């Protein structure tokens, strides 16, 4: 009798739990959508790889079935997915009031509990200013010659090699440049390689959070540990060195730490350094690889880009003088090209927030504590806003600055948490492209295929052969595609 009773109770309890999982309690009307399996939710479907460049099938299917706002469950959290421009706008505008940036636990374990993304209010504003000081327009102006030198020298080196994996090589270039700006790190002079610790990262971030030897997640955490140890050691050494004036970000941080009543701690500074190193090289190298691939596939776009950059050289008195800020600002087509590249690359497939209180929007209720995910690909590939959304057409951006299309462009986020690296990214991309299209030509050799999980990936890299342009001959490169 007892076991039967217990069994029945267990079944009732489980049934109730499953029912609650599928029908979370809410005073209002939850958006439509399925919460998936207990515990797993729809996590596996969400991360399932696809080669399409369209809106991820996971999102597209649900948009069709449920409309622009729907609920689901990812990594154990109830999530409302928003593909609705007005809700997106509302979410970005209400940062800190109704919504707060939120990352899954796996992210905070890897990036540190005190990373910028997880900080709010005063501390967040403080850090943001710190970073803008480093990557804002004033610093970028000063940085321009260095960025150009790095790009040109790197390309020169690549042209001497047989084949270069652009995904790998651009990541190395950008990491080295950023690490130099931040901590004056020189990979050629260091016994330990700092970047090696960041390599297994993307896989670790989006993998199942199981911290046992052999898993991607474990490797990722180990990488963080080693990288943090190195950063800590470097900070320590620098403190003992006693520099006179501020040169890099470390010096700046050391000055800040010395100030009386400062809110900055060493732990926060180190977490920040780690996030910046990661955020810069992984995203920008994807964007540059994507850009080069697009140029290989679109000879006319390449031609127009080339014309813009050759015209800059022609206007100069000394063609070998470096790029000026004025010249940089004049690269209209290049900026349109960069916009179009990041619109279609959709490097960031989801931007997460947490609801700080219950919200009613367009007849739906988002309960307090739920996560919301803004879905940039759904915005960037919306046929109502971008005609023929999958075609690559930089000219579509012509005149767009006049009507401030921020609601329909969120590759760099929006609102208060707009990416602080946007300008830095654009400088690096524009300058690299300048050197590439004026001095070199290239031939894709292998790889270049794209997989989205749903984040952009080049599983086989993008291997190209880079050759110096023969300045004396007419370029045959456009004929090759005919």
Ligand X SMILES: *[C@@H]1O[C@H](CO)[C@@H](O)[C@H](O)[C@H]1NC(C)=O
Binding site feature residues: 419
**How far apart (Å, rounded) are the C-alpha atoms in residues 19 and 16?**
5
Nearest Cα to Cα of residue 141 among 319, 401, 327: 327
Residue 406 site contact among ligand X, ligand HEM, none (CB < 5 to 8 Å, cut-off depends on kind)? ligand X
As measured in angstroms, the least distance from the Cβ of 241 to ligand HEM is: 25
- By CB under 6 A, residue 284 contacts ligand HEM: yes
Q: Which is nearer to ligand X, 342 or 436 (CB)?
A: 342
Extract the annotated binding site for heme: 419
Q: Which is nearer to ligand HEM, 284 or 365 (CB)?
A: 284
C-alpha neighbours within 13 Å on the C-beta side of residue 460? 10
- By CB under 6 A, residue 275 contacts ligand HEM: yes
Instruction: For Cα atoms 229, 234, 238, give the angle at the middle one, nearest 5 degrees.
Output: 150
- By CB under 6 A, residue 421 contacts ligand HEM: yes
**How far apart (Å, rounded) are the C-alpha atoms in residues 404 and 253?**
36
As measured in angstroms, the least distance from the Cβ of 223 to ligand HEM is: 19
Backbone angles phi, psi at 182, to 5 degrees: -80, -50
Q: Which of 91, 279, 305, 436 binds ligand HEM (CB under 6 A)?
A: 279
- By CB under 6 A, residue 336 contacts ligand X: yes
Q: Which of 2, 19, 39, 51 binds ligand X (CB under 6 A)?
A: 51
Q: Which of 199, 347, 356, 445 binds ligand HEM (CB under 6 A)?
A: 347
Q: Which of 339, 341, 346, 365 binds ligand X (CB under 6 A)?
A: 339
Chain-centroid distance of CA 370 in Å reads: 23
Q: Which is nearer to ligand X, 162 or 401 (CB)?
A: 401
As measured in angstroms, the least distance from the Cβ of 335 to ligand X is: 4
Segment interacting with ligand X, rule: CB under 6 A, options 6-14, 262-270, 332-340, 374-382: 332-340
- By CB under 6 A, residue 401 contacts ligand X: yes
- By CB under 6 A, residue 135 contacts ligand HEM: yes
Peptide bond connecting 309 to the previous residue in cis, omega within 30 degrees of 0: no
Q: Which of 420, 433, 464, 466 binds ligand HEM (CB under 6 A)?
A: 420
Segment interacting with ligand X, rule: CB under 6 A, options 72-80, 142-150, 362-370, 394-402: 394-402
Q: Under a CB-based contact definition with an 8 Å cutoff, are residues 394 and 335 in contact?
A: no
Q: Which is nearer to ligand X, 392 or 440 (CB)?
A: 392
As measured in angstroms, the least distance from the Cβ of 399 to ligand X is: 8
Q: Which is nearer to ligand HEM, 331 or 348 (CB)?
A: 348
Residue 339 site contact among ligand X, ligand HEM, none (CB < 5 to 8 Å, cut-off depends on kind)? ligand X
Q: Under a CB-based contact definition with an 8 Å cutoff, are residues 27 and 359 in contact?
A: no
- By CB under 6 A, residue 83 contacts ligand X: no
Q: Which is nearer to ligand X, 51 or 320 (CB)?
A: 51
As measured in angstroms, the least distance from the Cβ of 218 to ligand HEM is: 25
Which residues fall within 8 angstroms of residue 28, CB to CB, at 6 or more apart? Answer: 358, 360, 364, 365
* CA distance readout (Å), 368 to 22, 121, 442: 17, 19, 53
Q: Which of 43, 82, 114, 280 binds ligand HEM (CB under 6 A)?
A: 280
- Residues between 402 and 421 that touch ligand X (CB under 6 A): 405-406, 409
Q: How many residues bind ligand HEM (CB under 6 A)?
A: 25
As measured in angstroms, the least distance from the Cβ of 304 to ligand X is: 13
As measured in angstroms, the least distance from the Cβ of 276 to ligand X is: 23
* CA pseudo-torsion sign 339, 340, 345, 349: positive
Residue 41 site contact among ligand HEM, ligand X, none (CB < 5 to 8 Å, cut-off depends on kind)? none
Nearest Cα to Cα of residue 231 among 140, 109, 112: 112
- By CB under 6 A, residue 350 contacts ligand HEM: no
Q: Which of 413, 447, 448, 455 binds ligand HEM (CB under 6 A)?
A: 413
**Residue 243: count of CB within 10 angstroms of its CB:** 13
In the complex, which residues of this chain contact ligand HEM (CB under 6 A)? 101, 116-117, 131, 135, 275-276, 279-280, 283-284, 287, 342, 347-348, 351, 411-413, 417, 419-421, 424-425
């Amino acid at each position: 009798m007892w076991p039967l009773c217990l069994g029945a109770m267990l079944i009732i309890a489980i049934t109730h739990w499953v029912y609650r999982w599928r029908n979370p309690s809410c005073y209002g009307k939850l958006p439509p959508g399925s919460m998936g399996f207990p515990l797993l939710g729809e996590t596996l479907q969400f991360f399932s790889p696809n080669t399409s460049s369209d809106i991820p099938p996971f999102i597209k299917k649900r948009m069709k079935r449920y409309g622009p706002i729907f609920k689901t469950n990812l990594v154990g959290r109830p999530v409302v997915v928003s593909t609705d421009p007005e809700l997106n706008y509302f979410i970005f505008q209400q940062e800190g009031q109704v919504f707060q940036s939120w990352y899954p636990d796996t992210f905070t374990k890897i990036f540190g509990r005190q990373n910028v993304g997880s900080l709010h209010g005063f501390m967040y504003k403080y850090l943001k200013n710190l970073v803008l000081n480093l990557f804002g327009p004033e610093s970028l102006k000063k940085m321009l010659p260095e960025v150009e030198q790095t790009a040109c020298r790197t390309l020169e080196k690549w042209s001497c090699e047989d084949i270069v994996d652009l995904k790998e090589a651009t990541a190395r270039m950008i990491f080295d440049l950023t690490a130099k700006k931040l901590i004056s790190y020189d990979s050629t002079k260091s016994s330990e390689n700092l970047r090696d610790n960041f390599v297994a990262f993307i896989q670790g971030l989006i993998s199942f959070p199981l911290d046992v030897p052999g898993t991607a997640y474990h490797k990722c955490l180990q990488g963080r540990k080693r990288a943090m140890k190195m950063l800590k050691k470097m900070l320590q050494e620098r403190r003992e060195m006693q520099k006179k004036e501020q040169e890099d970000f470390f010096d700046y941080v050391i000055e800040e730490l010395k100030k009386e009543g400062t809110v900055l701690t060493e732990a926060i500074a180190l977490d920040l350094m780690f996030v910046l190193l990661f955020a810069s090289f992984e995203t920008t190298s994807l964007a540059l690889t994507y850009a080069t691939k697009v140029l290989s596939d679109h000879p006319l776009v390449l031609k127009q880009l080339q014309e813009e950059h050759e015209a800059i050289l022609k206007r100069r008195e000394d063609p070998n003088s470096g790029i000026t800020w004025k010249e940089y600002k004049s690269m209209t087509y290049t900026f349109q090209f960069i916009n179009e590249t990041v619109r279609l690359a959709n490097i960031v497939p989801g931007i997460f927030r947490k609801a700080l209180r219950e919200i009613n929007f367009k007849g739906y209720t988002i309960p307090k504590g739920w996560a919301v995910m803004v879905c940039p690909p759904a915005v960037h590939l919306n046929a109502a806003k971008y005609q023929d959304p999958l075609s690559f057409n930089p000219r579509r951006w012509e005149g767009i600055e006049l009507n401030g299309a921020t609601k329909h462009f969120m590759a760099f986020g929006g609102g208060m948490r707009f990416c602080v690296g946007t300008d830095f990214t654009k400088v690096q991309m524009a300058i690299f492209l300048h050197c590439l299209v004026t001095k070199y030509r290239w031939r894709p050799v292998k790889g270049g295929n794209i997989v989205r999980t749903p984040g952009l990936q080049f599983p086989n890299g993008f291997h190209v052969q880079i050759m110096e342009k023969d300045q004396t001959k007419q370029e045959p490169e456009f004929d090759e595609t005919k």
